[in-house]
A and B are shown apart, each in its own frame.
Chain A
Amino acid sequence: MLDWPLLSLLIWLPIVAACVVALVGSAQPGLVRPLALVGALVVLGLSVVLYLGFDTGTSAYQFQEKAPWISAFNVYYHLGVDGFALPLIMLTALIGVLVIIGGWGIKDRVHLYMAAFLVLEGLMVGVFAAMDALLFYVFFEAMLVPMFLIIGIWGGPNRIYATIKFFLFTFFGSVFMLIALIWMYLQSGSFEITDLHSLPIDLHAQILIFLAFLIAFAVKIPMWPVHTWLPDAHVEAPTGGSVVLAAVMLKIGGYGLVRFSLPITPDAAAALDWLVIGLSLVAITYIGFVALAQSDMKKLIAYSSISHMGFVTLGLFLAFAIARNSGELKGAGLGMSGAMVQMISHGFISAAMFSAVGVLYDRAHSREIKSYGGVANTMPWFAVFAVLFFMANSGLPGTSGFVGEFMVIIAAFHANFWFAFVAATTLLLGAAYSLWLVKRVFYGEVGNQKVAGLKDLTGREWVVLTTLAAFILAVGVWPFPLIEMMEASVQDLMMHIVESKLK
């Protein structure tokens, strides 16, 4: 069974399913949703097969597929996964199913809606599985198109502004990445990512390449101060769009840092780690405060995402400071693993919170906190989920939200007391904006007639929220398998980046 081209299946099967759904759509509207669901479920099943066949003992790329693509430029259709890519692919497959179920109630051009999400899913898997830089770039850019359509067609009233902002921001960033890739191709004659990892580059060039990649990925993550597209995109996106955006697309930025910035330009990363660490700490605190001031639930969650992604960038770049501080690398792997866990965990939690807002929006058509109040009275089960999700967002131990933050804070202490000190403010800020929202939306007397008429969760909503709750709790109670999956790759990367690549 493992002879199957699993990764190709994971990429192309959802895209084929999307074509089928789009074509069937107008003729057989009744078939659209079940077909899309089956497609997404098969992909999820395949991702489990991938996990079962994955050897956690090695950092080598597995399930490799390689075929010439553009021979003239030495470009290959080359796929493979390691411990960094695998959990993100599984997350993508899971979210893929949940957005199909969550979008069941869409009325407007549902076949195109489902198709867009399936295409997006395939492309995102492609980003994580690509071992060729140009292939990565193609998936990276192509991914924007379905998301552009999702926000632009099924979005809110101000969707045009938001989509253009979203598109320009990300496109602006990735152009720099393309230049860097072409420069390196001219040096090495290869687009193979692993070749680029071993390509010696002098420090000046490394710094330029590092900055080019940083711009591309910082926009995606997003890091302060290139983050302002995210709240707008989230606010205008339909629930499913927000879920995918927060749960998976932001992670591509973090993944890019792991796959490109750190291993290709380790000396530049060592020289400029203060920049990334500084921006991360600003994201954690400053954005935490900004989140506190939001009156729109989706904006609040969007800012919370930026703040939480600060832990990802912080964790990834601690290794150099740790080596400088203590002369050894103990704790650096903890930071990197913590960053990766934080990405996966934030995938679950942000998806859960956006789904929860979607539940309310579907009923009362408002994202404003002040339109609600006392929702727990009319939707008690929903309130249980919401409290769990927002608690997880504030880093409660026993939920996945705790694991990554805890590991990164410990690692940060290995680098510098004050890094840990600033990072730990999330304990207060995260709890403040999360639980204040809970208080205003869910507690108190029934706020108004609309709230009084709310009905508790439907069956489909139960499925989505229960699934996410289960993962949030499972990773919180036993993160062992997730961390084990990544450990070999983390150790390998850590060893790689402390070796100078200067010529």
Chain B
Amino acid sequence: MSIQTQLLLIPLLPLVGSLLAGLLGRQLGRAGAHWVTILAVAGAFGLSALTAWQVFIEGLGPLNYSVYTWALVDGFTFEVGFLIDSLSALMMVVVTFVSLMVHIYTIGYMHDDPGYQRFFAYINLFTFAMLMLVMANNFLQLFFGWEAVGVVSYLLIGFWFKKDSAVKANLKAFLVNRGGDFGLVLGVAAVAYYMGSLDYWEVFANVDAVSGQTVTLVGDWQWSVMTVICICLFIGAMGKSAQAPLHVWLPDSMEGPTPISALIHAATMVTAGIFMVARLSPLFEQSATALSFILIVGAFTALFLGLIGIVQNDIKRVVAYSTLSQLGYMTVALGVSAYSAAIFHLMTHAFFKALLFLGAGSVIIALHHKQDMRQMGGLARYMPITTATAWLGSLALIGFPFFSGFYSKDMIIEAVKASDRWGSGFATFAVMAGVVVTALYTFRMLYLTFHGPTRMDDATRAHAHESPWVVTVPLILLAIPSVGIGYLTVEPILFGGALADAITVAPAHDVMAKVSEKFHGAFAFGLHGFVTSVFALAMLGVGVATYVYLGNPKVAQAAKDRLYWLWTILDQKYGFDAFYQKIIAGGSLGLAGGLSRIFDAGLIDHGVVNGSARLVSRCARLARQVQTGFVFHYAFAMIIGLVALLASFLWLQ
């Protein structure tokens, strides 16, 4: 099998699987549908792993080639093609592995659902779209994958389309993402205009020619072209990767079934924005302004959206806000030019966050689709595997030394500290404070769900039991990398130059080089992790959570009463949702109604169009009155006319 065939099969297998399960779902039956799609994604995973082996171990050089020409127009060549290098190989493995785990898990989670085949078709289609996105060698295909994952996300959030909240959430998700895409399209158009191409490598080659140019958009204010391009592109990333203020769709996306919360809204799709910025690092390196903007947005998201997680009672929403916060960490890393650290955190996060979501899902199955943590507690007794894996995922999330999240998150913190970029002071504060917050909401969730006295009603408790093997095996398989992948890969990815062929960092921006001076191997770094201030902060969060939610639950209520204003702000999510709902959506509909009624139907149609018809008919009515049919009227008119004519002759003479 040639390398081209191998690469082509990776996205095509899930596409074919999706079409089979989607169009012939009834003929294939439930088992047929899940076998077809699981085999397809397993094949894609196998081939991706093989590709990664070839890239990382055998040193297969970057491959950049066209699969077919999409259009040739006016000197522009639009291609569909692949760029296979370390970055895409890494992403392909992560995407297909998590996808495979989620596929298997779905057999258990969706067991009783009438839309079983449809669900498998969607998640297979998603895998195809995500692979096209990460394998793209040009902006057009990036945008295709970008929108395609968005559509599948829309379909999956609204999977239970009878539920009103679900179909509200999916419309919201799509529209907010379109808000981001608005920026992305302008960014792509700008790239096409200034660089004359949409092919990544051709664009990168033209960066130097453009980097000094400026453009005036409003008044006489000169903007650097690269800043405009990068900010536009990043607005796209803000939509997809749910950065404030375009984050509001992600918590609501939890209306979808849990497997896709893990796959799409934690591990893969939402990281597309992070991936894009890393992929386009040669562009972003040209604009310190854009990077500072990214840094501020990421820092805000990391800290303030994490805080909301503390007051959530729905287990999935806690994990969702945690995802927002962690995406913020990745964005911060991008903002200080530590692209490799962002990708590294993206990878570890994909594993442990998928694990946490699937663990939450396992709890939800056991409790017959109850998601409120106030009605849980003490589940450790009934669900040992779920509990153990949730602990492992949580330790990774809070960055406990030697766990995967420890390496990736501490590296981001180190990178921010080492950076002198405008905004890095605020970012340092945000990521450090975020550590406490992360530990606090994570352990709150662990305790409320698995430990302490149970708050389940008797019927639920009678049925609470460990989930079947199709659920627990993916949990275990995800727990392994959640624990170990950081330790194993931190050195090659961050300091060994494994991503060097894909990521460009200007020497003056290279914070990872500064960090590497403090790094003396993964083991030493892990040991040192126990004596850092970051560890102390994490333990502070854990300690508070332990005291409040395990030791003395009354404190939680007292704190809520005492700090009611703070609780309200967090519970209202800083008013973002209300703002979108009332001002943006309400305002648009009001404007639409006004334009439609007053302007279109009123002024143009009733006024001008029918008005001119009325005018004609009124003139005609007047003219008609003259045509009376009486001869003496006509004779009278003639005489008048004759007199007038003669009079005019006289007057003219």
A and B part of one assembly: yes
The reply to whether B148 and A398 contact each other, CB–CB distance below 8 Å, is: yes
Contact with A along B55-90 (1 / 0, CB 8 A): 000000000000011111111100000000000000
Cβ–Cβ < 8 Å partners of B520 in chain A: none
Q: Which of B140, B162, B168 is the one whose CB lies under 8 Å from A377?
A: B162
The reply to whether A292 and B151 contact each other, CB–CB distance below 8 Å, is: no
Give the Cβ gap from A223 to chain B, nearest Cβ, in Å: 12
Answer whether residue A424 sits at the interface, using C-beta atoms and an 8 A cutoff.
yes
Q: Which of A289, A421, A478 is the one whose CB lies under 8 Å from B186?
A: A421
Q: Which of B70, B171, B196, B217 is the one whose CB lies under 8 Å from A480?
A: B70
Cβ–Cβ < 8 Å partners of A182 in chain B: none
- 3 A-B pairs with the lowest CB-CB distances in the bound complex, closest first: A333-B74, A293-B596, A413-B189
Of B175-183, B309-317, B346-354, B573-581, which binds chain A?
A: B175-183
The reply to whether A290 and B595 contact each other, CB–CB distance below 8 Å, is: yes
The reply to whether A445 and B74 contact each other, CB–CB distance below 8 Å, is: no
**8 Å CB interface, B128-167 against A:** 140, 143-144, 146-148, 151, 154-155, 158, 161-162, 164, 167
Residue of A nearest to B161 (CB): A443
Answer whether residue A201 sits at the interface, using C-beta atoms and an 8 A cutoff.
no
Q: Which of B73, B181, B591, B595 is the one whose CB lies under 8 Å from A483?
A: B73
Give the Cβ gap from B410 to chain A, nearest Cβ, in Å: 39
With A397-B144, A478-B68, A490-B74 as given contacts, are A427 and B182 in contact (CB-CB < 8 Å)? Answer: yes
Answer whether residue A284 sits at the interface, using C-beta atoms and an 8 A cutoff.
no
The reply to whether A413 and B609 contact each other, CB–CB distance below 8 Å, is: no
Please report the total number of A residues contacting B with Cβ < 8 Å: 60
Of A236-244, A248-256, A258-266, A403-411, which binds chain B?
A: A403-411
Q: Which of A332, A442, A483 is the one whose CB lies under 8 Å from B71?
A: A483
Answer whether residue B545 sits at the interface, using C-beta atoms and an 8 A cutoff.
no
Bound form: Cα–Cα A168–B610 in Å = 11
The reply to whether A289 and B588 contact each other, CB–CB distance below 8 Å, is: yes
| Interface size range on B against A | 35 or more
Q: Which of A168, A402, A444, A487 is the one whose CB lies under 8 Å from B73?
A: A487
With A292-B589, A407-B73, A432-B588 as given contacts, are A427 and B185 in contact (CB-CB < 8 Å)? Answer: yes
Bound form: Cα–Cα A445–B143 in Å = 34
Residue of B nearest to A476 (CB): B144
Residue of A nearest to B601 (CB): A228
With A397-B148, A427-B185 as given contacts, are A483 and B72 in contact (CB-CB < 8 Å)? Answer: yes
**8 Å CB interface, A256-309 against B:** 286, 289-294
Give the Cβ gap from A148 to chain B, nearest Cβ, in Å: 17
The reply to whether A289 and B72 contact each other, CB–CB distance below 8 Å, is: no
The reply to whether A333 and B151 contact each other, CB–CB distance below 8 Å, is: no
Q: Which of B147, B168, B190, B599 is the one whose CB lies under 8 Å from A396?
A: B147
Residue of A nearest to B166 (CB): A443
Residue of A nearest to B216 (CB): A417
With A225-B604, A435-B171, A483-B72 as given contacts, are A330 and B196 in contact (CB-CB < 8 Å)? Answer: yes
Answer whether residue B208 sits at the interface, using C-beta atoms and an 8 A cutoff.
no
The reply to whether A435 and B175 contact each other, CB–CB distance below 8 Å, is: yes
Contact with A along B37-59 (1 / 0, CB 8 A): 00000000000000000000000
Bound form: Cα–Cα A396–B591 in Å = 25
The reply to whether A228 and B162 contact each other, CB–CB distance below 8 Å, is: no
Answer whether residue A145 sits at the interface, using C-beta atoms and an 8 A cutoff.
no
Residue of A nearest to B600 (CB): A290
Q: B residues bordering A, Cβ < 8 Å?
A: 68-76, 140, 143-144, 146-148, 151, 154-155, 158, 161-162, 164, 167-168, 171, 174-175, 178-179, 181-182, 185-186, 188-190, 192-193, 196, 215, 217, 588-589, 591-593, 595-597, 599-600, 604-605, 608-609, 613
Answer whether residue A190 sits at the interface, using C-beta atoms and an 8 A cutoff.
no
Bound form: Cα–Cα A374–B163 in Å = 10
Cβ–Cβ < 8 Å partners of A333 in chain B: 73-75
Q: A residues bordering B, Cβ < 8 Å?
A: 165, 168, 225, 228-229, 286, 289-294, 330-334, 337, 374, 376-377, 387, 391, 396-398, 402-403, 406-407, 409-410, 412-414, 417-418, 420-421, 424-425, 427-428, 431-432, 435-436, 439, 442-445, 478-480, 483-484, 487, 490-491
The reply to whether A478 and B70 contact each other, CB–CB distance below 8 Å, is: yes
The reply to whether B68 and A292 contact each other, CB–CB distance below 8 Å, is: no
Bound form: Cα–Cα A431–B178 in Å = 8
**Chain B binding surface, main DSSP class:** helix
Bound form: Cα–Cα A397–B181 in Å = 12
- Which of B73, B75, B154, B175: most chain A Cβ within 10 A? B73
Selected A-B contacts with CB under 8 Å, 12 pairs: A289-B595, A290-B600, A337-B74, A398-B148, A409-B186, A413-B193, A420-B186, A421-B186, A431-B174, A435-B174, A443-B158, A487-B73
The reply to whether A330 and B595 contact each other, CB–CB distance below 8 Å, is: no
Give the Cβ gap from B387 to chain A, nearest Cβ, in Å: 37
The reply to whether B147 and A397 contact each other, CB–CB distance below 8 Å, is: yes
Cβ–Cβ < 8 Å partners of A427 in chain B: 178, 181-182, 185
Cβ–Cβ < 8 Å partners of B192 in chain A: 410, 413
Cβ–Cβ < 8 Å partners of B71 in chain A: 403, 479-480, 483
Cβ–Cβ < 8 Å partners of A418 in chain B: 217
The reply to whether B185 and A439 contact each other, CB–CB distance below 8 Å, is: no
Q: Which of B155, B162, B190 is the one whose CB lies under 8 Å from A444?
A: B162
Bound form: Cα–Cα A442–B588 in Å = 23
Residue of A nearest to B597 (CB): A293
Residue of B nearest to A380 (CB): B118
- Which of A168, A228, A403: most chain B Cβ within 10 A? A228
Bound form: Cα–Cα A274–B420 in Å = 47
Bound form: Cα–Cα A21–B573 in Å = 67
Cβ–Cβ < 8 Å partners of A228 in chain B: 600, 604-605, 609
Cβ–Cβ < 8 Å partners of A377 in chain B: 162
Bound form: Cα–Cα A420–B155 in Å = 29
Bound form: Cα–Cα A337–B189 in Å = 16
Residue of B nearest to A433 (CB): B592
The reply to whether B74 and A374 contact each other, CB–CB distance below 8 Å, is: no
